Amino acid sequence: MKKTYYITSPLYYVNAAPHIGHCYTQVACDTISRFLRQNDCDVFFMTGTDEHGEKIEKASIESGLPKGCENKFVDAIIPRFKDLWKYLDINYNFFIRTSDKNHIDTVKHILDVLNKNGHIYKKIYKGWFCTPCEMFWQQSQAPEGICPDCKRNLEKLDEENYFFKLSSYQDKLIKCIESDELAVRPPMRKNEVLSFLKGNNLQDLCISRPKKRLKWGIELPFDKDYVTYVWVDALLNYISGIGYLGNKKQFKKLWPADLHLIGKDILRHHAIYWPILLIALGEKVPRKVFAHGWWVIDKEKMSKSKDNAVDPMRLLNEKGIKADALRYFLLSQVQFGRDGSFTENLCIEKYNSDLANDLGNLLNRTLTMVEKYFDGVVPKVLKDEGRGVRDGEDDQVKALLREEIKGLADELPKKIKHYIDIEKDGPDFQPALKAIWELINKANKYIEVSAPWKYAKDKNTSALAVIIDTLVQAQGIISVLLYPFMPHTAKDIWSQLGQENDILNIKYPKIKWGIIKPGTRINKGKPLFPRITSE
């Protein structure tokens, strides 16, 4: 029976178009999902959009729409997210919107249950509020009236609202995180959450907004004068989207979630608010919350509110950076969990060096030699063939390098599994891709060291066959292991190597030396990554 995994991205806030930060999380989720499917697992990957709250209401009005037309505003933004995910080959199972009827019904049902069970009460709130962050802050947390997160001026509130008894579960949550019942990763984020929980008394969570201030939201089931706080609304998507209210069979199969993948700025919501809401409901907490770092520009977090967000479609359309190249840059540039610096020039440099020079050049040179020396057919190598590449000291070096390539290829699937394993401390994409590139670089070096053109000149076909077979087998393995990270590129390499079977059907046990059969006619195509120049 296949093992089932439930993986989620956060819900993306639709007050503006998507940026590189959104792509980062989405590509990471997609890569994990593809990797697990490659390992014959059943994966349910859910993503979607967060559509309520004051920022949406404000953005809708600023766009020129009259108040009360927020639904038209979000309906116009959603396709930009979906189109980008399609362009980036994001293969999700379900796209949830917080404006979906099923989600709204689920939120109302859950709030009604929590209220009837005594977890919700009403009181007057006096304190600071940050509209861009949708966050309340105590006077002690923001004595100067500046938001600790976005550094903007806070608004002073004095109004009656409904509160959820978050403070009642502080000790229980600490035990959950310490025991890894709820695994917060990377380890520095676990330490961060535990330090906060042990150093502060949790304040109860304000879960409402009066309609006199905000109408764009889900109405409280027990008071029509209030709507639900957007973060309570949004967090509940993780169970509403898999059938908490209407599909108990699916919910039982998928819950608890195996991985909530988020940015570090929303760690507190996912590692404190969310698990406590679940505990109050009598449900299990998620197995893992992994908070990755930010992309920064000039040492500042990339965000829509700071007006420094990079438009991915401009990179893809105007700069000539292919979708897979963007995926590669995002996953390989920085250790997953840490912050990374983004510049267009850096992205182009990595494209040219790693993709055009290393990967693309390796495939092009190899297939050119298959065409030139073997009429486009992968040669067959017999056990006693290739002795001609072992004669003399120089040829021993070539033979050792060939064996090193085979050894790297044999170990590579195990290495990738280790780095992407979400049941331990993973994922970490950078070392996984470094391991693949180690094999790519060894293969490129092998071409230079073995100098196949010399054997062709001497008509030493048996030695030439060994060299070409080594290069072809290595790239067969590279293509399959690249698939989760760069799906289009992997399929392209697989096809150019003459493989007609679907790369999706190549599961991990089949990824081994000899993956490309002798006698296969190659199908050389255009260069994978034509070089581009930065302006």
Distance CA 410, CA 408 (A): 5
Residues 6 or more apart in contact with residue 59 via CB below 8 angstroms: 15, 16, 73
Q: Give the three-state DSSP class for 77.
A: helix
In the chain, what are the domains? Answer: 343-510 (1.10.730.10)
pLDDT at 535: 55
Q: Cα dihedral angle (511, 512, 518, 519), rounded to 10 degrees?
A: 0
Distance CA 264, CA 337 (A): 8
Task: Please give the helix or strand (H or E) that residue 472 lies within, else none.
Answer: helix 461-482
Bridge partner residues of 135 (DSSP): 130
pLDDT at 386: 45
pLDDT at 309: 75
pLDDT at 393: 47
Given the structure tokens 């046990």, which residue do they identify? 509
- DSSP character for 505? G
Task: Give the relative orientation of helices 274-281 and 101-116 as an angle to the nearest 10 degrees.
Answer: 70
Contact in structure between 72 and 34 (CB atoms under 8 Å) = no
pLDDT at 323: 95
pLDDT at 392: 47
Distance CA 490, CA 497 (A): 11
Supply the DSSP string of 321-372, one letter for each residue.
Answer: --HHHHHHHHHHSS-BTB-EE--HHHHHHHIIIIIIIIIIHHHHHHHHHHHH
pLDDT at 375: 97
Question: What six digits make up the tokens of 450?
Answer: 């073995």
Residue 314 CB coordination number (10 Å): 11
Contact in structure between 259 and 5 (CB atoms under 8 Å) = yes
> Parallel, antiparallel, or unpaired for β 219-220 and 223-228?
antiparallel
Peptide bond into 427 cis (omega under 30): yes
Contacts 24+ apart (CB under 8 A), 56-65: 56/13, 56/14, 56/15, 56/216, 57/214, 57/215, 57/216, 58/15, 58/131, 59/15, 59/16, 60/216
Tens place of pLDDT per residue across the chain (535 aa): 789 999 999 999 999 889 999 999 999 999 999 999 999 999 999 999 999 998 899 999 999 999 889 999 999 999 999 999 999 999 999 999 999 999 999 999 999 999 999 999 999 888 788 877 777 777 777 878 888 877 788 888 888 999 999 999 999 999 999 999 999 999 999 999 999 999 999 999 999 999 998 999 999 999 999 999 999 999 999 999 999 999 999 999 999 999 999 999 999 999 999 999 999 999 999 999 999 999 988 777 766 666 677 888 888 877 778 999 999 999 999 999 999 999 888 999 999 999 999 999 999 999 999 999 999 999 998 764 444 444 444 577 778 889 999 999 999 999 999 999 999 888 999 999 999 999 999 999 999 999 999 999 999 999 999 999 999 999 999 999 999 999 999 999 999 999 999 999 999 989 999 999 999 999 999 999 999 875 5
Task: Give the relative orientation of helices 70-87 and 54-62 as an angle to the nearest 10 degrees.
Answer: 100
Task: Please give the helix or strand (H or E) that residue 208 lies within, else none.
Answer: strand 208-210
pLDDT at 300: 73
Whether the CA torsion 273, 275, 276, 281 is positive or negative: it is: positive
pLDDT at 384: 47
Question: What six digits make up the tokens of 3?
Answer: 């093992």
Given the structure tokens 């967000």, which residue do they identify? 309
Contact in structure between 56 and 73 (CB atoms under 8 Å) = yes
Residue 134 CB coordination number (10 Å): 19
Q: Give the three-state DSSP class for 62.
A: helix
Distance CA 224, CA 218 (A): 10
Distance CA 292, CA 264 (A): 6
Residues 6 or more apart in contact with residue 177 via CB below 8 angstroms: 184, 190, 193, 194, 197, 271
Contact in structure between 302 and 308 (CB atoms under 8 Å) = yes
Alpha carbon separation from 417 to 43, 141, 504 (Å, rounded): 16, 42, 17
